[in-house]
Amino acid sequence: MKLQKTYRRIAYALWIIAVVVVLTIVILSPYKHTDTPSYHEAVERWSLREPLYLNSGFYYFPQFIFFFMPFHCLPFLPGDVLWRVVSVALLFWGLRRIVNSTDLLKDERFFLYASLVAISSAVGALRNGQANLIFGALGLHAAASVARSRWWSASLCLIGALVIKPLGLVMLVLALIVYGPIAWRLALGLIIFLTVPFLFADPTYVITEYRQSVLRLLTSSLNTEHRFADFNGLLRSIGFGLTGVSSQIVRIGAGIVTMVLWVVSAKRTSEPDRALLLMGLAGTYLTLFNPMTQGNSYVIVGPVIAIYAVRFLWIENSPKIGWGLIFMGISLGPLPTEIIYLIDANFRLWWRPLMMIIFTAFLTYTIFRTEDPQLARLERKGWS
């Protein structure tokens, strides 16, 4: 028991230190390396009933404005600090919920090791105040909720993820395919989601902004710039970048493959493995095939890699796979890539998508591997 408390204190200390260091940097340089000005600008444009998507860096649905508005109403620096604190607190809580989803992982040592990987992948998004941090956190909460058949909280988290980023639609659709009881709850949530903006603005303005948001997303899907860390960024780094239309075809094909893998995995796995695969498959698809994936977007999959690393190291006794996953998770963070970036300017654009291809292969392996009888007995006792 004493050792468990020690592990817990170390894990908590790591999170606190990371947050304090990052927030100190933010306070000293609040206007450098931050995405929040585009969020503030969007709230101001909405208040003035100006176009949200004309000559702006706003790539979210209008509903995001209502989520960010409480932080905008505060003075700039306190609001931005609170935004980051809320984001990382949700991620911390989501990771704890996932770890506590199974008796086999209810060990503070496991939470400590998982925290090391999760923090590494999260500090970049935390520094920039990116919505990816909350998006990844809500994904973890959604997975933890469906694993326990808590359909209302799962629906709330999935709709919340859609509010934070339009890419949340991928996770929502995948969950809808397998988890039947969530269907009518999600339908109700989507009705509320679509209705809310009409309660605060003229219908003509809202409909116009809805149209512009869809147009913005379609336009960004044709992006051909070599500055994003997606699958096409990997191809461009070796001289084989896809054009806008061909990249769309590849994304559609990858989406179909992801859907098939998810349906097959749902039949071959039990909870919380199934819920973790939901997060893993959705995360790898979103990071690989979102044409505007940034390096900090990988916070979406970092915590999932952390959980699998812990499981393979100490539950399945597969140290090579476990340590490989830890290396993978930590390498998604900003520190390793920034160091090697000094040697290879394209490193940050091809390394992370390469890791996601490998992680996708790993997830496929976990879906189709032959069941280990000894592990199956353990699962019946605690994992499932």
DSSP 379: I
Domain that holds residue 79: 2-383
Q: Over the stretch 336-356, which tens digit does the pLDDT of each residue have?
A: 556 665 566 677 788 899 999
- What's the CA gap between 357 and 198, in Å, rounded? 41
Number of domains in the chain: 1
More confident residue, 186 or 245: 186
Question: Can you give the pLDDT at residue 204?
Answer: 95
Comparing C-alpha atoms, which of 275, 249, 257, 269 is closest to residue 182? Answer: 275
**Interval 93-107 mean pLDDT:** 80
Q: How high is the mean pLDDT of the chain?
A: 87
Provide CB contacts within 8 A for 213, sequence distance 6+.
52, 53, 60, 61, 62, 166
- Residues 183-214: tens digit of each pLDDT: 999 999 999 999 999 999 999 999 999 999 99
The reported pTM is 0.91
DSSP H helices, the chain, are 2-28, 36-47, 63-72, 76-99, 108-128, 132-147, 151-164, 168-178, 183-195, 203-220, 231-237, 244-268, 273-289, 302-314, 319-331, 334-341, 347-368, 373-378
Tokens 């999760």, residue located: 118
